[in-house]
Structure 1
Amino acid sequence: MTPLRHIDIAIIGGGVIGLAIAERLAAEGRDVTLIDPNPPGETISPNAASYGNAGTIADYAILPVGTPNVLKNLPSLLFDRNSPLAIRRAALPALLPWLIRFALQSLPGPAERNARTIAALMSTATADWLALGARLGGEDILKKRGCLYVYETAAAFRAAERDMAFRRSLGVTVDLIDAATLRQMEPALPEVEGGAAFFPKAVFLNDPGRMVGLLRGEVAARAETVTATVDRLERQADGILLTGPGLRLKAARVVIAAGAHSRRLAAMAGDPVPLDTERGYHVEWDMPAPPVTRPTCPTSRGFYLCPMQGRLRVAGTVELGGLTAPPSPHRIAKLVEGARQIFPDLPAPNRDWMGFRPSMPDSVPVIGPSRAGAEVIHAFGHGHLGVSLAPVTARIVADLIAGRAPHMPLAALSPARF
């Protein structure tokens, strides 16, 4: 039998959330053990959310996935295989409880409440990332060029005015620009009848994998890392027992930051939560100079055009389908088709992959102590905002462990909200 070891703080999960928490706690002098199936320094698995993303520190992305407009169109969205929000039909029975909660959270009152919670979380995301990038020596990865939402028709552009007014009311800086101004900013984009929303304060990572690699290196240098899978979490009188193949640890405190794999661990800790999995798709073309200079979202298509270092990444769409089904070639093909409608000369892509997003029905992450006792702290369920909210989440967790009051109330983030 593997001998039992006693440790202070265990963080389960080595994605961007777990790494940011480990970095913050280690910087405060805490004794940290990070547990993840992937060895430190190894390329992150393509099915991990930290590997593939749009790279945006999306301080403007305060709307939940579920809104009254989405609710109105939900049946057609979910069952149209070409929709940017779709469902694998074989997964429908298992997803039905989640979908019912999602529909309820898409009603006007809950949707507005969720947006306000997300806005409060996102309010410091850019500042926190700039500080983290400086600590890691990754300032050159953070690009201050803003982000664009492109509206291809005049009607869509007019309809965006109300959306942007609501975002402004929650602290988002945004300018609505006409088609001529958009053409000046991104001349490679095709002409549109509408215009765009420009978020000038948005920052993006032009190499998310490299930034996560810097985080992994910092954590490996300052904290213990254990390559293992946690199969069992058990509360005991003198700590939290964590076991798995070749693993027997007893921790005084445990942080669950295992992304889409967090639900079973949270349940073992005493907190059943309605976490499920969005499957996000990504395609990349290697090129020395991508055709756009900032993240650009053609809003009707549901994906981002992302100018990464030495490549163009197209990332996005939402497919609800769990953790076990294989990737859908159709979803990849639709991304390639959509990208070529904008840039017809794109050759065959160099790579594609699918990643898992840990998604809550209200689009609000679970951050805070377990209902069964503060020895366990949750930090998962960030959906589309995991990269954006990594240092924000790390700051909240560090405050909780240190006994400090977090910078915002946590009731709306608590597992008790369910």
Structure 2
Amino acid sequence: MDKNIKVGIIGAGIQGISNALFLQKKGFNVTIFDRDNPGAQAASYGNAGHFSPYASVPLNRPDVLADIPAMLLSSTGPLALKWNYVPKMIPWFLKFIMNSTKKNMMHTAKNMHQILDLALPAYDELFDEIELDGLVENKGILYIWNDKDLKSRELEIKVRDELGVNQQLVNKSEIHDLEPHIKPIYHAGVYYPYARHARNPKKILLKLFDLFIKKGGKFNKVNIQEINFDEEKPIFKTENQSFIFDKAVIACGAFSKKLTDNMGEKIPLDTERGYHVHFKNCDHLLQRPVIFSNRGFGITPMEQGLRVVGTVEFGGLENPLSKSRIRNLIDNAKYMLDDLPEHEDEWLGFRPSLPDFLPVMGPSKNYKNIFYCFGHHHLGWTLGPISGKIVSGMIANENTNLDLKPYSSLRFS
């Protein structure tokens, strides 16, 4: 391969950095651009820290539609709307509803499973080159529930069984043995023994970023406002600079839509706003991430304390943080665990979500030298390296035995 092929990547989160590292392995010359430093307060910093290779069942499914009104009305529920944003979301919601058939749910589940199955080995390829220093724990991930909404639980278990996902159903006493500090709010659960979690996602991201720099990568802290073209070569424009590349990757999560719109491609990308708070000095209360399915929140033991994450709020990129969503997380954490101190670190981040809950990976519709890698909704952290590996393979024109068509942006045109 021509070692001098220059690739520009927009986005310094887990997607952008993973793309960069796999492109470097193939001999490309790579520059990453972001308006913030890597590890800034964006999604790759604030996520739940789960490596969840089992999570193939999407949000768009028949049982969820029936539950949405109740979720919206419940203050402890996982879903909220910013009413000023509802008119903008209507086209997205209509597409979401159309995707919530059993057939479409299975299409998404099958194509998520295809890449999730490869997610941990792709991480290990990158982890082999850095010192992890105990930042990843292999203790599995535990989901618990009470005896409400059991139809949804049964559906998830059944679909994962059909796909061949390794899952262990656990009863009350087994849950208690795994996590003795949880209050007895549960009736049953499922344990994914091979899942992992990050003790500090930001530190892992920065170690991968340092590896990228050490291998000759370059980073520019600037805001790319638009992409122009010189013949077919992409030109990144800031307010007063421009940078020309042979190929480019758009990997800036929920912020990618501005650029794809700018290139004349209407991709229905929107944002699910996610929140977290920390309870400091009590990460000893849990051994592993625990998710309470009925309320759609989870708690991960991290270096920063217990990180309580969850809730989906539809409200776009401009609305301020909702105190009611923070309150919701605090109340939920106290519902699960006793003796929690005052919470700290209120955080809001943006999950880039498409109405069929599949990511967009592959060449742009109108420009063959532009590649997309965004829209990984709740699984951006899990899918970073495998997505980078797949997109770098496309850029290098390699053959693959994966079916990559389902991830193409052409499905929206």
TM-score, normalising length from structure 2?
0.94
Offset from partner CA, 1:220-251 (integer Å, 9 cap, x none) = 33211111111111233141121012430111
Q: Is residue 7–residue 250 contact of structure 1 (8 Å, CA) maintained in 2?
A: no
In 1, the alpha carbon distance for the partners of 2:56 and 2:28 equals 32
Bigger CA drift: 397-406 or 317-326?
397-406
Alignment equivalent of 1:33, drawn from 31, 34, 37: 31
Q: Which segments of 5 or more consecutive residues in structure 2 lack a partner in the other structure?
A: none
Bigger CA drift: 230-239 or 318-327?
230-239
1:295 aligns with 289
Alignment equivalent of 2:188, drawn from 178, 195, 201: 195
2:141 aligns with 147
Bigger CA drift: 21-30 or 115-124?
21-30
In 1, the alpha carbon distance for the partners of 2:232 and 2:60 equals 42
The code of the aligned residue for 2:63 comes to: N
In 2, the alpha carbon distance for the partners of 1:217 and 1:226 equals 14
In 2, the alpha carbon distance for the partners of 1:262 and 1:79 equals 31
In 2, the alpha carbon distance for the partners of 1:83 and 1:381 equals 24
2:234 aligns with 240
Q: Is residue 269–residue 376 contact of structure 1 (8 Å, CA) maintained in 2?
A: no
Offset from partner CA, 1:326-365 (integer Å, 9 cap, x none) = 0000000110011011123111112211111111111110
- The answer to whether residue 320 in structure 2 is matched with residue 326 in structure 1 is yes
- The answer to whether residue 107 in structure 2 is matched with residue 109 in structure 1 is no
The DSSP-based 3-state class of the residue aligned with 2:129 is helix
The code of the aligned residue for 1:226 comes to: N
Share of identical aligned residues, percent? 31
Bigger CA drift: 160-169 or 88-97?
160-169
CA gap of 1:253–1:89, structure 2 versus 1, over 3 A, is same
1:182 aligns with 175
TM-score, normalising length from structure 1?
0.93
The DSSP-based 3-state class of the residue aligned with 1:51 is helix
Q: Which segments of 5 or more consecutive residues in structure 1 lack a partner in the other structure?
A: 1-5
Alignment equivalent of 2:332, drawn from 331, 338, 344: 338
1:206 aligns with 199
Offset from partner CA, 1:9-33 (integer Å, 9 cap, x none) = 1001111110111111123221011
The DSSP-based 3-state class of the residue aligned with 2:69 is helix
Offset from partner CA, 1:370-397 (integer Å, 9 cap, x none) = 1113200000011110000000101111
CA gap of 1:193–1:342, structure 2 versus 1, over 3 A, is closer
Aligned residues: 408
Offset from partner CA, 1:388-418 (integer Å, 9 cap, x none) = 0000101111111111023411111011001
Bigger CA drift: 327-336 or 396-405?
396-405
The code of the aligned residue for 2:340 comes to: L
The DSSP-based 3-state class of the residue aligned with 1:331 is helix
1:3 aligns with none
CA gap of 1:310–1:45, structure 2 versus 1, over 3 A, is closer
In 2, the alpha carbon distance for the partners of 1:10 and 1:57 equals 27
The code of the aligned residue for 1:211 comes to: I
Displacement of 1:151 in angstroms is 1.3
Alignment equivalent of 1:19, drawn from 13, 17, 21: 17
Displacement of 1:219 in angstroms is 2.0
